Structure 1
Amino acid sequence: MSTIPVPPPRQVLLDCVRTATEAPSLHNSQPWRFRPRGAMVDVYADPARRLRVLDPSGREQLISVGAAVFTLRLAIRRAGYLSDLNVFPEPAEPDLAARVTLAHAAAPSPAVRALAAAIGRRHTDRSPFAQTPVPTDVLDALRGAARREGAVLAVAHAAGREAILKLARSADRWLRDRPGHREELARWTVGGTRYDGVPRWAAGPRDGNDMVPIRDFAELAAEPRSSAPFEPYPTILVLATTGDRWPDWIRAGQALQRVLLTATGNGLATTPISQPLEVPWARRMVLDPATGLSVQMVLRVGYGGKTGATLRRPMADVLLPGPHAPAMVPAG
């Protein structure tokens, strides 16, 4: 794929970066920064935004960055350009997670436009879903979305679903007793106007059936958390990769975002259930070791109601100035 001889207008890259910031991230931490230059965009992990208690290795941070990388690629494709992706292109800069380089112009297909149209409509829904099965063809589309980004997506059968949810509940309790957990949760629970974190209105109710462990962002609020019965048989998806290193985490994030956008385009609501993957012993139990796969995310999907969009950081906060990024602490 040949590189375009003349860089695109800078505003094109800035618009694509702005779209990339709509990607999902753990606790809406938005742990990324971007440096557009010429016909490329460098995407950095921001170690100051890593959740040290939940994510000491930086795995979930790089999954979040990978989701932003996919969203950036999709925005560039919608803008009428193909692109090349180079993951961790500079060994001396471990926080430089990806370099996306625009290639020759090409009109976006209807499928690209439809997928990109879901970016602004994709929101995490922590509320009960309808007791309506997800059609097989839609689940097949989600599997295909993960496969296109080099990942594997499996639909948990009944026994597997119960086992995963039991692990998630145990992991949630374990995490809540971890030193520093309450302080970290408080940092990312938003009251008033802020451009990151999870606002209390988006926290969702507690599952009255005590089946689905929804992260309790209202734990530190003065008012008690509401309760509502969730669907008794949720559809649970498991996203996995063949490896478990930094590039695999970026790959997982790209696959995750393609799956989420495909789900949104098919009218589905989505909720990450990451607690069992934040506890080493629980993560090892989500998948049979015989598969040779490393689980990277657990998702709950179904038909929900309308939910609002959480805010995103201003462009001035996510753009790195100058020709070189400032020195950062390694991402993990």
Structure 2
Amino acid sequence: MNDIGTQQAHQPVSRDTGEPDAPDLVACVRAATTAPSLHNSQPWRFRITPFEVDVYADPRRRLDVLDPTGRELLISVGAAVFTLRLAIRGAGYLSDLKLFPDATEPDLVARVSVRRPMAPTPAAEALIAAIPHRHTNRWPFARSVVPADAVERLADAARREGAVLTVANPVSRNAILGLSQEADRALRAKGRYRAELARWTSPHAGRRDGVPVTAIGPWDALEMLPIRDFGLLQPQLDRPAAQFEPYPTIMVLSTDGDTRRHWVNAGQALQRVLLTATWLNLATTPISQPVEVPGIRRLLSDGGAGKWAQIVLRVGYGRPATGTPRRPLAEVLVPDGSEQP
């Protein structure tokens, strides 16, 4: 049972029914903007009406080299959609979710409607409390084993959003890391990739998107983990080298299809997993290089069984990580009544 809302159509809250006012949807959108996104590109826009929020993909923020199909863009938007639903639940309301509600607006990814009041469950409150603390962690993790019950909670979080989270055994882990390193080398060999990486690495204060220097993390001294090298084109950075954990916990998030709807649902599942991990005091690092090279992504998927790998995750216990900046609401809100570009 989904504890933050439903995806079926129900009657939303109406001022004419005597129900309490809808939650502060501006605050809910502000929470949604904390969702993770590829290179912190924040590829979303929102339109607020009294009892609904329309969530748009912003194609201007798609990464042409890494994400030519827009798959990772929609995963990012899906993560924002889940966070929006969760924020509405935290405000004491159920919500409805409709994906791609208007065929004439292909960038309109989701419509979230406020339903009747209902107090959030303890499980929802735990996820809500985790929202401001979730950060990608690119630092070494402790050499501690992630407990089996925590792994099962993460897998259950993915199931609740229609995805599958598989924990790699030692043999699979080594194979996945090897494929990830191969993908990373293939990407770094592309001049256009390096240029795109440089555009999204923030070298100066005041920028409200991209990956700032404070979030890049150290070099992997043994070059075992394919941590994205955001300092690749910044030789002036004095980055320390560090030894990362030799036996990381690696998980693969998959969906039972590979359509735009599956990509959005993968983003929702990813955010539920990440927030669950945060609540369990676990650190996480999305590893997307192996699913950004089509041939390697096929090796991680099981097309015959209809399972498509969407993201690889590294999970463990790590030092606190620095968050990344967020754009002001004025940049992501579409005025009600205006035409979405």
- What band does the TM-score fall into relative to the shorter chain? over 0.9
User: 1:101 is matched with which residue: 93, 104, 113?
Assistant: 113
> What is the correspondence of 1:41-60 to structure 2 with a 5 Å cutoff?
41-60=53-72
In the other structure, the counterpart of 1:330 is none
CA distance in 2, matches of 1:210, 1:244: 31
SS at match of 2:15: coil
In the other structure, the counterpart of 1:67 is 79
Q: TM-score, normalised by structure 1?
A: 0.96
SS at match of 1:211: coil
1:89 aligns with 2:98: no
Compute the displacement of 1:135 (Å): 0.4
Deviations 1:229-258 (A, max 9, x none): 100000001000001010000000000000
Q: How many residues align?
A: 327
1:2 aligns with 2:16: no
User: 1:267 is matched with which residue: 262, 281, 287?
Assistant: 281
Q: Percent identity?
A: 59
Cα RMSD (Å) = 1.3
CA distance in 1, matches of 2:189, 2:338: 41
> What is the correspondence of 1:152-163 to structure 2 with a 5 Å cutoff?
152-163=164-175
Compute the displacement of 1:224 (Å): 4.8
- Return the letter of the residue paired with 2:261: P
**More deviation in 14-23 or 192-201?**
192-201
Which sections of structure 1, spanning at least 5 residues, go unmatched? Answer: 328-332
> What is the correspondence of 1:154-233 to structure 2 with a 5 Å cutoff?
154-191=166-203, 192-221=205-234, 222-233=236-247
Deviations 1:43-100 (A, max 9, x none): 0000110000000000000000000000000000000110000000010100000000
User: 1:276 is matched with which residue: 282, 290, 304?
Assistant: 290
Deviations 1:165-191 (A, max 9, x none): 001101001111224112111111002
SS at match of 1:295: strand
**More deviation in 7-16 or 300-309?**
7-16
**More deviation in 68-77 or 190-199?**
190-199
Q: Does the 8 Å contact 1:209/1:232 carry over to 2?
A: no
SS at match of 1:118: helix
In the other structure, the counterpart of 2:162 is 150
Q: Does the 8 Å contact 1:37/1:323 carry over to 2?
A: no
In the other structure, the counterpart of 1:249 is 263
Compute the displacement of 1:307 (Å): 1.1
Q: TM-score, normalised by structure 2?
A: 0.93
Q: Does the 8 Å contact 1:219/1:225 carry over to 2?
A: no
**More deviation in 3-12 or 288-297?**
3-12
- Return the letter of the residue paired with 2:153: A
CA distance in 1, matches of 2:25, 2:237: 44
CA distance in 1, matches of 2:239, 2:228: 12
